[in-house]
Amino acid sequence: MSSASQPENPPVPPAFRVERSSVHGNGVFAQRDIAPGERIVEYGGREITWDEAQLRAEVQGGPHNHTFFFSLANGNVIDGGDHGNEARYINHSCEPNCEAIEEEDGRIFIYALYDIRQDEELSYSYPLIYEGRHTPAIKRAFACRCGAANCSGTMLAPKPRKRRPKAVTPDAPAVPAEYGPALAAVQSPQPAAPG
Ligand SMILES: [Zn+2]
How many distinct structural domains can be found in the chain? 1
- Reported as a pLDDT band with limits 50, 70 and 90, residue 118 is very high
CA distances from 195 to 36, 47, 113, 114, 132 (A): 12, 31, 9, 10, 33
Asked whether residue 146 is domain-assigned, the answer is yes
Q: How much distance in Å is there from the Cα of 22 to the middle of ligand 1?
A: 13
pLDDT higher than threshold 70 for residue 98: yes
* Rounded Cα–Cα distance for residues 171 and 138 (Å): 14
Q: What is the dihedral of CA 107, 188, 138, 54, to 10 degrees?
A: -50
Asked whether residue 64 is domain-assigned, the answer is yes
Q: How much distance in Å is there from the Cα of 148 to the middle of ligand 1?
A: 6
Tell me, what CATH number does 68's domain have?
A: 2.170.270.10
pLDDT of 17 reads: 95
Q: What angle do CA 29, 65, 77 make, to 5 degrees?
A: 80
Domain range enclosing 52: 16-156+177-187
- Reported as a pLDDT band with limits 50, 70 and 90, residue 4 is low
Asked whether residue 116 is domain-assigned, the answer is yes
Asked whether residue 6 is domain-assigned, the answer is no
Mean pLDDT for the stretch of residues 16-25: 85
Q: Please state, for a pLDDT cut of 70, what percent of the chain lies above it.
A: 70
Instruction: Tell me the residue type at 76.
Output: N
Asked whether residue 100 is domain-assigned, the answer is yes
Q: How much distance in Å is there from the Cα of 157 to the middle of ligand 1?
A: 12
Q: How much distance in Å is there from the Cα of 124 to the middle of ligand 1?
A: 10
Asked whether residue 8 is domain-assigned, the answer is no
- Reported as a pLDDT band with limits 50, 70 and 90, residue 7 is low
Q: How much distance in Å is there from the Cα of 59 to the middle of ligand 1?
A: 29
Q: How much distance in Å is there from the Cα of 139 to the middle of ligand 1?
A: 13
Asked whether residue 4 is domain-assigned, the answer is no
Asked whether residue 32 is domain-assigned, the answer is yes
CA distances from 123 to 23, 88, 110, 190 (A): 10, 11, 9, 12
Mean pLDDT for the stretch of residues 52-66: 72
